[in-house]
């Protein structure tokens, strides 16, 4: 049940963030559901390898390179999910920051109840 709640929360955050950020376009709420699944799979499978592979540059940048990795993964998801489009790398970077902050906040609120 917790997985479904996290999935719905992530979908709502994705849909609302895409509405607020002008460089991110999403067709409908179902696309947000699919994007939440795809981003979850990408973050579970590809992201750990990228973090390990880029560890030296990540250490030198004090972890800020992780934001670049997140933006690149969002651009990858935009190529995979039909109905989801990001105009540029910078919009993807802003979208990843907004997603991270809001998801962290909402997941903490749900877990405390």
pLDDT band at 3, cuts 50/70/90?
confident
pLDDT band at 31, cuts 50/70/90?
very high
Task: Summarize the confidence of residues 13-40 as an average pLDDT.
Answer: 92
Q: Of 39, 40, 21, 50, give the one whose Cα is nearest residue 78.
A: 39
Helix H or strand E encompassing 90: helix 89-112
The pLDDT assigned to 77 comes to 96
Asked whether the predicted pLDDT for residue 33 surpasses 90, the reply is: yes
Q: Of 25, 36, 42, give the one whose Cα is nearest residue 87.
A: 25
Task: Summarize the confidence of residues 57-72 as an average pLDDT.
Answer: 94
Q: Of 93, 103, 46, 37, give the one whose Cα is nearest residue 70.
A: 93
Report residue 93: phi and psi, to 5°: -65, -45
Residues 24, 45: Cα–Cα separation, whole Å: 24
Task: Summarize the confidence of residues 19-42 as an average pLDDT.
Answer: 93
The pLDDT assigned to 113 comes to 60
The pLDDT assigned to 91 comes to 96
Q: What is the CA radius of gyration of the chain?
A: 14
H-assigned helices in 21-88: 29-53, 55-60, 65-80
């Amino acid at each position: 049940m917790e997985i479904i709640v996290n999935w719905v929360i992530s979908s709502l955050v994705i849909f609302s963030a895409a509405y607020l950020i002008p460089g991110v376009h999403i067709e409908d709420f179902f696309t947000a559901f699919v994007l939440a699944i795809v981003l979850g799979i990408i973050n579970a499978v590809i992201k750990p390898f990228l973090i390990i592979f880029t560890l030296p540059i990540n250490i030198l940048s004090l972890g800020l390179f992780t934001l670049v990795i997140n933006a690149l993964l969002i651009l990858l998801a935009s190529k995979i999910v039909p109905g989801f489009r990001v105009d540029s790398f910078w919009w993807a970077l802003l979208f990843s920051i907004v997603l991270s902050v809001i998801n962290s906040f909402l997941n903490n609120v749900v877990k405390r109840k």
